[in-house]
Amino acid sequence: MPSTEPRGPRQIYQALIWSLKGLRAGWRFEASFRLEVYLCAIVLPLGLWLGRDAAEKALLCGSAILVLAAELLNSAVEAVVDKVSPEFHELAGRAKDMGSAAVFLLMLNVVLCWGLVLWTRFTP
């Protein structure tokens, strides 16, 4: 049953704390997430510099941030699957593979976005 209490500053602050805990857990336990954060530390300033207008900047930076979000969701799925089904099960493996595929597709999206923006920039 949904909460009938209105959201106020205290609930918003608590949601922020939980989000920061999630980011910290991703950093601490997921090597892939750390690598993607390092790449974002390079890609985000570059995207802000290379983007000609707000839309290009948003496309270049936003595509990279989506990879981080998908990696966290993939890690969450893997943690829940490992907790619920510690032994191998076909459905558990499929869930993990699909989470990994989502991250991969968003990485392809980064390459596509950056490629198209840079292609238009450096071709006559």
Mean pLDDT estimate for the chain: 94
Active-site position among 30, 36, 56, 71: 71
pTM: 0.88
Q: Which domains does the chain have, with CATH numbers?
A: 9-122 (1.10.287.3610)
Known active-site residue 71: yes
Burial class (CB in 10 A: 0-12, 13-18, 19+), 36: buried
Number of H helices, E strands in the chain: 4, 0
Distances (CA, A) of 119 to 7, 82, 103, 123: 46, 43, 24, 6
For the cut 70, the answer to whether the pLDDT of residue 1 exceeds it is no
Q: For residue 80, what is the enclosing H or E element?
A: helix 54-84
- Tokens standing for residue 108: 């392809």
For the cut 70, the answer to whether the pLDDT of residue 3 exceeds it is no
pLDDT tens-digit readout, 19-71: 999 999 999 999 999 999 999 999 999 999 999 999 999 999 999 999 999 99
Separation of alpha carbons 72 and 56, rounded Å: 25
Give the pLDDT score at 2. Answer: 62
